[in-house]
Amino acid sequence: MIDPVPDIELNDGTQIPQLGFGVYQVDPAETGQAVSTALQTGYRHVDTAASYRNERQVGEAVRAAGDSAYVTTKYLSPTDDHGAQDAKEAFARSFDRLGLDRVDLYLIHFPVEAGDGYTAAWRALSELRGDGRLRSIGVSNFTPQQLGRVVDDTGVTPAINQIELHPYFQQAELRREHVERGITTEAWGPLGQGAVLDDPVLREIAEAHGKTVSQVVLRWHLQLGIVVIPKSVTPSRIRENFDVFDFRLAEDEMRAIEQLDRPDGRVGIDPHTFAFPKERVDEE
Ligand code: NDP
């Protein structure tokens, strides 16, 4: 089978498959099956995190499929103060749970302003990169100001900022900042966690192409050059979300979707009010 998924080149010279498979809120008992279905469908990129508590199952499914998928995981501080040592130890635990030759991308899951804040963790990630176990490093839920701070502090630009992004919450200003800094935008909640799927404008565009709303939304992300990681535990939807390479949205359709942006469009966790857990979030 010809692989239809384009690779995007990151600022460190590595490549990431533009369409991946997310496993947030996927029960560990269901994760193996969901990831195996995704890999059989043709996805070759999986997005997990220590706090999802399903890294072990992701690693097993990736190994069973021949160990060739691109895997992202994330560091979430157990307190409100990221420490360099804590980040390094957390990476070692994620690496062991995944059981793969290497982690392709490791992200700081949320920034925190307290104490040394995220800069100490970013320095730790910069040191980890290149030790053979980790290829690329990035961040998630960072603002332009926070991106500026880590770059100024270390001279190392994150390869990716993974942010909430969908037709109701388009983050145009942050995306422009990414372009200026050479950071790739990755969308979490690309379907608005389901919130955009009944939209009448999207439905009309979908009907015109004989596609579903979910497929239109994923196509929109792809045409904007965004890395996108839809989640589903439903095999038919996992396949549907991959079947997005046989049509193209016209300019006027892209513009119509641009108009759907809303000031109150956020549906997921707000990083500005995120409550950091008091204890370690990952398994032993
Ligand atoms: P998504 O926007 O991917 O939406 C997932 C929801 O949409 C699920 O309820 C799923 O249902 C449903 N769905 C999926 N495909 C279809 C379809 N074709 N038709 C109808 N419904 C559909 O939300 P997520 O929050 O899961 O985001 C994707 C990934 O992003 C996560 O899994 C995770 O990897 C990452 N993420 C990162 C965050 C961060 O802070 N860095 C925060 C949140 C997510 P069902 O599963 O029942 O089929």
Q: What is the DSSP string of 245-266?
A: SS----HHHHHHHHTT--TT--
| Mutate which of 33, 71, 73, 191 for ligand 1 pocket (most atoms within 8 A of beta carbon) | 191
Q: Which amino acid is residue 158, in one-letter code?
A: P
Q: What pLDDT, in 10s, does the model give residues 174-230?
A: 999 999 999 999 999 999 999 999 999 999 999 999 999 999 999 999 999 999 999
Q: What pLDDT, in 10s, does the model give residues 85-133?
A: 889 999 999 999 999 999 999 999 999 876 667 999 999 999 999 889 9
Give the tokens for residue 269.
């966790």
Query: Taking the model in full, what pTM does it have?
Result: 0.98
3-class secondary-structure state, position 19: strand
Asked if 162 contacts 107 with a C-beta cutoff of 8 angstroms, the reply is: yes
User: Would you state the torsion angle of the CA atoms of residues 224, 8, 19, 145, taken in this order, to the nearest 10 degrees?
Assistant: -60
| Mutate which of 25, 188, 229 for ligand 1 pocket (most atoms within 8 A of beta carbon) | 188
Bridge partners of residue 70, in order along the sequence = 45
**Residues with catalytic annotation?**
52
